Amino acid sequence: MEATKKIKTFLHRFKQTTVTQDVQPYENLLQQIFERAGSMTGKADAELQQMTNVIREKVRAGESPDAHMAQLYAIVGEVFRRTLHITPYRVQVMAAIALHQRKVIEMQTGEGKTLVAVFTACLNALAGKGVHILTFNDYLAKRDANWMRPVYEFLGLSVGCIQENMPVAEKRLAYRCDVTYATAKEVGFDYLRSCMAYAPDEVILRDFNYAIVDEADAILIDEARNPLVFAGNIAGQPVDHHQIARYVSGLTPYRDFMLDEYARNVFLTDYGIEKTEYFFAVQNLYDDNHHDLLIAVNLALQARSMLRKDVDYIIDDGRIKLVDEFTGRVVEDRKWQNGLQAAVEAKEGLAVQSEGRILNSISLQHLMNYYPKVSGMTGTAQHAAEEFASFYGLGVSVIPSHKPCRRIDHPDRIFTHKAAKVKAIIDEIQKVHQTGRPILIGTLTVKESEELQAEIQRQGIASTILNARNNESEAAIIEQAGLPGAVTISTNMAGRGTDILLGGKEQYSREAVVASGGLHIIGTNRHESVRIDHQLKGRAGRQGDPGSSQFIISMEDDLMAKYGLKGLLPTHLRDLRQDGPIHHATIARSIAQAQRIIEGQLYEIRLNLHQYAHFTERQRTILFDRRQDVFFSEESPWKEYSLFQHDFLWSYYMNDIAALREGIHWQRMAGKNPLHEFHKSSDAMFRQLIADLEDKLSNASNVDVSELQLKRPSSTWTYLVNDNPFKNPLMLMLSNIGYQVDLLAGPLMMIMKIFGWGKRR
Ligand SMILES: Nc1ncnc2c1ncn2[C@@H]1O[C@H](COP(=O)(O)OP(=O)(O)OP(=O)(O)O)[C@@H](O)[C@H]1O
């Protein structure tokens, strides 16, 4: 039976891998909506509100909202005209239908997804159970809630918005609104907070109902690599990180330590081990007594050789701030976990902050699974269709654009080395700048953006920079980026959600920019994820505007070096060095293939994370259900005591589980399957946890309440970067083959991804 179930699950994943281009199924509903829309224009405001109230009563009496979609969408369209003076396009209404039908809709960048979500949110909010619109960042949550507020309020629907660091009382009110705009991350933290409440007024969230996820691929896929972790502070450091950082800075690569960038691995050589033992006066570094030292040295090596200042992080106000590789933004509350943060702080000579002890944690994938209904929107859904299907059971529906896209995407210009590439970028900027067209240059890192600006300045061209160092001026920079002659250099920050208006706000200068050919995009690197490249291109040619894009790259770029892409080239091209671009069909194909391979690997990492997290999540549910029983019980003197015990033991358990995971990959060396071993060990540990908890609770009546120190753990909310122990996903994939049918699904999907099979276009 079990085997049959696994085969069914396996096949189901493939069956779900659908991308629908066919919009015919929506035509019938669209016709009904637009027929009704005609009769709405003559109605008084009060009439529209009364019609909405009638639908609301029917839905609350148990009727399905589906039956009222045509009527309500026609009303919402009319309300848009009356309140915001916008007439929704036919394709936007079509997208709103698909959204209600649990799809991830792909709409071209700039087509107005913010409006689309409102139709579906209104329909689903009538039941009174709340709709969450999950945005990419806090700024968009606030902007969209305020922008769309008149529409909701006209229909008698309340709208709230969640911001990080908002007082709990304000958050509770916002979550009780009919529609709440928030980032997925903040909802996740509020969920964890609610799980650990000590009194009813500390419960922030109500039951989940429906989530519309904006920029769905970024939130449901890219962000899903990072578990949300509620961490408490513990004082003291077991080792002197600064001393270790100084020691490691003097080591020589390839003699004292080896590093394999592709596998994201760094380790001491035999020579390096002996040297370290001598320096720290220990006999055997691998002895249990020196475990902390060994780990700290490894982390310091990782900090020295794998993490780069102004690329992976910046230093601001004496603190390390991580830069998100997908968005180019500083992520204020993100930290590396398991001691790596401290190692980087020591490397930079900063004070080492105290390390976090995990108090509670959830993955975004599991959080989303608590919503009975989920749908999503993005400009780049097709590339992630397999993953939407396998993790979330969501299909992708491609919505045609309102006006045909006029953007010209030039084929990549590829150079043999970096200097030739930079020269070509400067030439390109000079050539396009002369025509008066605005230019947006997308760079990979803060460092690269600044170096390029210096180079452009030497050529006498003024430019503006947008990167993690100046994100507070983002809105002002973007406002200027579409003006005639503007040159803007940015990291991935000028990606999702960035609406560059041609000519700024002035109509006459818009006409001038349109006549000159619109915005020109220059990409200076191919990103690991092709979706990020598409988002960058998507800043030009919005809503039928003219525009163009050109990637100028070199075989020495990080992507090529990291993944050894030269190896994919024919032998005679590998050592070529020339000033002009390389003209060879194989190269562009190889790069595209490499991006597919990398995406397959990243998928594999996420699949693994999911498989491990899934087991712990099930245990968390069991334990927190028990916590709820204590929470709502009446034995008040012992209640808090039973809860400061529950949370304390769970916290210890979470940390033990993190340590178990950290070392479990060694089981592969013993010919065992790490995932199986993890399940076995964590199952035994969980049973012990339950036994300990019951023991503590049964002894609770012997505790003198006056002696209890009911102190809560002092806590911080941390968004930890998953320092994945599976450094080489390919090895992991191979080692897993043959253990269980379920595990085969991932690798097979990866192979299909690489060869582009299984996609229906
Ligand atoms: N029906 C419409 N009529 C006129 N303007 C519209 C309409 N719908 C949207 N817009 C405008 O289009 C612009 C882009 O809208 P929005 O930010 O929602 O796009 P988007 O799809 O989220 O883009 P991206 O994901 O690329 O950032 C906004 O300036 C908005 O006012």
* 3 lies in some domain: no
**Residue whose CA is at the smallest distance from ligand 1 atom 22:** 113
User: Cβ(374)–Cβ(368) under 8 Å?
Assistant: yes
Locus of tokens 């505007």: 545
Residues 56 and 157 in one domain: yes
Residue 111 CA to ligand 1 center (angstroms) comes to 5
In the predicted model, residues of the chain with pLDDT beneath 50 are 1-2, 5, 8-17, 234-237, 263, 636-637, 703-746, 749, 758-761
Residue list, ligand 1 pocket, CB within 6 Å? 86-89, 92, 107, 109-115, 379, 496-497, 499, 538
Tokens of 395: 């299909």
Distance CA 315, CA 299 (A): 19
- The ipTM, to two decimals, is 0.98
298's tokens:
């490894």
Nearest CA to ligand 1 atom 15: 112
Q: In terms of C-beta density within 10 A (0-12 exposed, 13-18 middle, 19 or more buried), how is residue 327 classed?
A: buried
What is the three-state SS of 499-510? CCCCCCCCHHHH
Q: Are 87 and 224 in a shared domain?
A: yes
Distance CA 523, CA 551 (A): 4
Closest CA to ligand 1's atom 18 = 112
Q: Are 464 and 322 members of one domain?
A: no
Give the pLDDT score at 183.
Answer: 92
Token pair of 17 as six digits: 């891998």
Task: Return the sign of the alpha-carbon dihedral for residues 507, 512, 517, 521.
Answer: negative
Query: Helix or strand or coil: residue 729?
Result: helix
Sign of CA dihedral 104, 519, 327, 182: negative
CATH of the domain at 614: 1.10.3060.10
- Judge if 385 and 287 occupy the same domain: no
Distance 132 CA to ligand 1 centre (A): 20
Specify if 300 maps to a domain: yes
CB 374 within 8 A of CB 213: yes
Give the sign of the dihedral formed by CA 352, CA 354, CA 359, CA 360. negative
Flag whether 709 is marked binding: no
The per-residue DSSP string of 290-331 comes to GHHHHHHHHHHHHHHHT--BTTTEEEETTEEEEE-TTT--EE
Q: Is 221 found in the same domain as 243?
A: no
Same domain, 271 and 332: yes
- Per the structure, the complete domain to which residue 323 belongs is given by 236-353
Q: How, if at all, do strands 319-323 and 330-331 pair?
A: antiparallel
Ligand 1 atom having least distance to the Cα of 501: 29
- Measured in degrees and rounded to the nearest 5, phi and psi for residue 567 equal -60, -20
Region of residue 421 (phi > 0: left; psi between -120 and 50: alpha; otherwise: beta): alpha
Let me know if 87 is exposed, middle or buried by CB neighbors in 10 A (0-12, 13-18, 19+): exposed
Query: Which of the listed residues 106, 115, 327 should we mutate to test ligand 1's pocket, taking the one with most ligand atoms within 8 A of CB?
Result: 115
Residues 99, 148: Cα–Cα separation, whole Å:
18
Instruction: Judge if 573 and 715 occupy the same domain.
Output: no
Q: Are 210 and 156 in contact (CB under 8 A)?
A: no
Q: Tokens representing 32?
A: 């009904």
Those residues whose C-beta lies under 8 Å from the C-beta of residue 134, and which sit 6 or more positions away, are: 182, 183, 184, 187, 211, 212, 213, 214, 219
d(Cα 382, Cα 18) in Å, to the nearest integer? 9
Whether 360 contacts 192, CB under 8 Å: yes
Residue 316 pairs in a beta bridge with 319
Strands (E), 234-312: 257-260, 265-268
142 labelled ligand-binding:
no
pLDDT at 398: 94
In a domain, 4, yes or no: no
Give the SS3 label for residue 157. Answer: coil
Q: What is the DSSP letter of 557?
A: S
The atom of ligand 1 lying closest to the CA of 543 is 12
Phi, psi of 319 (to 5 degrees): -125, 150
CATH number for the domain harbouring residue 40:
3.40.50.300
| Distance separating alpha carbons of residues 531 and 482, to the nearest angstrom | 23
Residue 704 covered by a domain: no
The verdict on whether residue 92 carries a ligand-binding annotation is yes
Interatomic CA distance for residues 736 and 58, integer angstroms: 52
Q: Cβ-count burial of 89 within 10 angstroms (0-12 exposed, 13-18 middle, 19+ buried)?
A: middle
Tell me whether residue 588 is in a domain: no
Q: What's the CA gap between 236 and 90, in Å, rounded?
A: 61
Strands 228-233 and 715-721: antiparallel
Record the tokens describing residue 119, joined without a space: 């139709």
Residue type, 239: V
> Residue whose CA is closest, atom 23 of ligand 1?
110
Which tokens is 442 given? 């997308």
User: Which residues on adjacent β-strands are paired with residue 376?
Assistant: 104, 213
What size, in residues, is the chain? 761
Report which secondary-structure segment, H or E, holds 335: strand 334-336
Question: Within this chain, do residues 347 and 439 fall inside the same structural domain, yes or no?
Answer: no
The best mutation among 76, 86, 147, 479 to test binding of ligand 1, ranked by most ligand atoms within 8 Å of the C-beta, falls on 86
Nearest CA-CA partner of 165 in 183, 186, 144, 146: 186
- Residue 6 in domain: no
* 112 and 131 inside one domain: yes
For residues 559 and 349, what is the distance between their CA atoms, to the nearest angstrom?
Answer: 30
Q: 155 alpha carbon to ligand 1 midpoint, in Å?
A: 22
- Phi, psi for 289 (deg, rounded to 5): -65, -20
Looking at residue 216, its amino acid is: A
User: Is 5 a domain residue?
Assistant: no
The residues, any chain, with a CB within 8 Å of residue 168's CB and separated by 6 or more, are 193, 202, 204
Residues 221 and 240 in one domain: no
Which CATH number does the domain housing residue 257 bear?
3.90.1440.10
Q: Are 547 and 520 contacting, i.e. CB atoms less than 8 angstroms apart? A: yes
E strands, 379-438, in order: 395-398, 408-409, 413-415
Q: What is the C-alpha R_g of the chain?
A: 28
Q: Is residue 760, in this structure, part of any structural domain at all?
A: no
Please report the beta strands in 202-300, taking only residues with DSSP state E, as ranges in sequence order: 210-214, 228-233, 257-260, 265-268
Both 144 and 293 in one domain: the answer is no
Burial 684-710 (b: 16+ CB within 10 A, else e): eebeebeeebeebbeebeeeeeeeeee
Residue that has been written with the tokens 């394999």 in this structure:
260
Task: State whether 46 and 187 are in the same domain.
Answer: yes
- Overall number of domains in the chain: 4
